[in-house]
Amino acid sequence: MRLETLKFGINDPAPHHAPDVAVLDANTGNLCCFCGQPAGLHAMRIGNAFSCVLCGLVQSLHRTSIDEELRLIWLPEMSQPALNVLVRQIHIDLQELGESVYCDDTPKSSEGMRPALYTAQRILRERHETIAERLGSSRASDLADALTALADRHVGLQNLPWGGLRGFPTGRFYVGGVNVYDETVSSWRGKSKTLMQEVA
C-alpha cells in the first residue's frame, strides 16, 4: 500500500498506539541515540533510548501539540537525522543572533548570517506543499491517525514506502502547554543552568 492512497483526515480516529515516551526535565548530558548530537534539556526517553527533542518529535506523532511542533515535508535528498542536525544548527545560529527560531518568523534584520539561515529554513518549510499535494495533508496529526488505523489492521508500518517523507521541526516544543524549545536550544549552546551545575 502506498501512503498516497491513504485517506487522511479520519473523523473517528482509533486509539493511538503511542510509544513509551517520557520528556525529561533535566539535562542528563546524554547524546541523542538517533542523530548523535547532545540531547540537551527536555530530551526524551523513548524506551531505553535517549532522544533529542527533534528526533523525539518524529516518534511522538500522538502528542496533542504535534501540529504546532512538526510539519510533514517531502525531502528525499536528506535523511531525518541529517535534517534534524541541520535544523538544530540553524536554530542555534538564529538564537545566537538574537532571532526567533520559529520557522514562520522572519529575522529582525538582514545582517550577517540571517538571510542565509532564514532562506534555508524557508526552503525546508516550503517542502510541505509537495507533501500536501501527494497525501492531501501536511499535518503530522493526520499521519498519526492514519498510522494508528493501519496498525489496527496489522499493516507492517516498517514496510511502507516512506520515500522522502520527513518531519520538519517548527522551532516549538510544548511541555505542560508552555513552549520550552528556546530553553532546549540554549542547552545545546551550553547555556543550560542544569548542565553548568552538573559540570561544576
Give me the residues that bind Zn ion (CB under 5 A), please.
Answer: 32, 34-35, 52, 55
Longest dimension (CA), the chain: 55
CB of 71 to Zn ion, least distance (A): 18
Which residue, 35 or 185, has its beta carbon nearer to Zn ion? 35
Rounded to an integer, what distance in angstroms lies between the CA atom of residue 101 and that of residue 39? 18
CB of 191 to Zn ion, least distance (A): 19
Least Cα distance to 145 among 80, 68, 67, 197 occurs for: 67
Least Cα distance to 5 among 134, 149, 122 occurs for: 134
Q: Which three cell numbers stand for residue 86?
A: 541541520
- What is the four-CA torsion angle of 153, 64, 89, 85, rounded to 10 degrees? -20
CB of 155 to Zn ion, least distance (A): 27
Which residue, 38 or 107, has its beta carbon nearer to Zn ion? 38
CB of 79 to Zn ion, least distance (A): 12
Which residue, 72 or 87, has its beta carbon nearer to Zn ion? 87
CB of 24 to Zn ion, least distance (A): 14
Which residue, 24 or 150, has its beta carbon nearer to Zn ion? 24
> 173 and 69 in contact (C-beta within 8 Å)?
yes
Measured in degrees and rounded to the nearest 5, phi and psi for residue 126 equal -70, -15
Which residue, 32 or 66, has its beta carbon nearer to Zn ion? 32
Rounded to an integer, what distance in angstroms lies between the CA atom of residue 159 and that of residue 182? 36
